[in-house]
């Protein structure tokens, strides 16, 4: 499964990418929503983990754009952000995010959300 990590802060993006690669996913990275939209036009991305606050195009705007296009109807999206207010969580889910992870996050939190979403984790014991 090909996963896209979208975050403007390189250390966070690298950490998420490492966690996902360590559990067996192929990982691509983008620094903002516009860069991510360009990438998903070229690559078949099954899952995107998206930060909310980014320049160019924020995470919520990215989710809205993806959900407008039926070509990406099967892409799963997790918002990964420091936005913790209930209205922000509701806004992300209403925009089309499938799940929500609050920063700071851990490998265990990511694995748990993937399992809740029914996503097969490549290195998980069968």
Query: Could you give the angle at the alpha carbon of 102 between the alpha carbons of 86 and 2, nearest 5°?
Result: 120
pLDDT at 103 over 70: yes
Fold of the 2-116 domain? Rossmann fold (3.40.50)
Which region among 40-44, 57-61, 76-80, 122-126 has the lowest average model confidence (pLDDT)? 122-126
pLDDT at 126 over 80: no
Q: pTM to 2 decimals?
A: 0.94
pLDDT at 125 over 80: no
pLDDT tens digits for range 21-58: 999 999 999 999 999 999 999 999 999 999 999 999 99
At residue 22, the pLDDT reads 95
Is residue 2 exposed (0-12), middle (13-18) or buried (19+ Cβ within 10 Å)? middle
In this structure, which long-range contacts are made by residues 99-107, counting pairs with CB atoms below 8 Å and at least 24 apart in sequence? Answer: 101/49, 103/12, 105/16, 105/80, 107/19, 107/22, 107/23
Would you say 59 and 78 are in contact if contact means Cβ atoms under 8 Å apart? no
């Amino acid at each position: 499964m090909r996963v896209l990590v979208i975050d403007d802060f390189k250390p966070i993006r690298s950490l998420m990418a490492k966690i996902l690669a360590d559990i067996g996913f192929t990982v691509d990275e983008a620094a903002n929503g516009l860069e991510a939209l360009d990438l998903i036009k070229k690559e078949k991305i099954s899952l995107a983990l998206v930060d909310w606050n980014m320049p160019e195009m924020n995470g919520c705007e990215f989710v809205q754009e993806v959900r407008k296009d039926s070509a990406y109807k099967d892409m799963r999206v997790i918002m990964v952000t420091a936005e913790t207010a209930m209205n922000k969580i509701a806004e992300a889910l209403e925009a089309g995010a499938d799940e929500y992870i609050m920063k700071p996050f851990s490998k265990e939190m990511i694995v748990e959300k993937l399992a809740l979403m029914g996503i097969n984790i490549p290195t998980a014991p069968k």
